[in-house]
């Protein structure tokens, strides 16, 4: 088994990560594009990552930066399966397949982050 939602499969490190996720959710809410239906904690035992998922199979991950502690959506591109946050995918944009570039441009528009199209208009 590599995916679990059962807290008895979480070790102390994963429970600490779950605590951080829940605190960020309480303090700053869910990402704007993350559906608040069927939200649950999950743990990928292969990667060691703890995250939130929901009824739509969307994923939110914990982030901590100088801006504070918050949750950020985690995406997977439809063609090549490139995974990451919006910022991660923005860095990968120049190397993406055309179909993934089109998907990412649509994602940027839906998140009101259309600047990605201007910044990478030569793509």
| DSSP code for 4 | E
Query: Which pLDDT tens digit goes with each residue over 5-60?
Result: 999 999 999 999 999 999 999 999 999 999 999 999 999 999 999 999 999 999 99
pLDDT in tens, 73-121: 999 999 999 999 999 999 999 999 999 999 999 999 999 887 655 555 5
Query: What pTM value is reported for the model?
Result: 0.87
DSSP string, 25-94: HHHH-S-TTS--SS-EEEEETTTTEEEEE-TT--EEEEEEETTEEEEEEEEE-TTT--EE-HHHHHHHGG
Distances (CA, A) of 102 to 39, 57, 59, 107: 29, 21, 21, 9
């Amino acid at each position: 088994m590599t995916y679990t939602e059962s807290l008895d499969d979480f070790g102390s490190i994963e429970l600490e990560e779950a605590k951080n996720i829940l605190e960020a959710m309480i303090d700053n809410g869910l990402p704007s594009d993350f559906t608040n239906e069927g939200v649950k904690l999950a743990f990928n035992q292969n990667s060691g990552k703890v995250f939130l998922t929901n009824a739509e199979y969307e994923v939110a991950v914990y982030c901590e930066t100088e801006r504070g502690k918050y949750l950020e959506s985690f995406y997977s591109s439809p063609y090549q399966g490139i995974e990451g946050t919006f910022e991660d995918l923005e860095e990968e944009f120049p190397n993406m397949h055309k179909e993934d570039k089109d998907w990412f441009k649509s994602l940027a528009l839906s998140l009101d982050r259309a600047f990605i199209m201007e910044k990478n208009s030569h793509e």
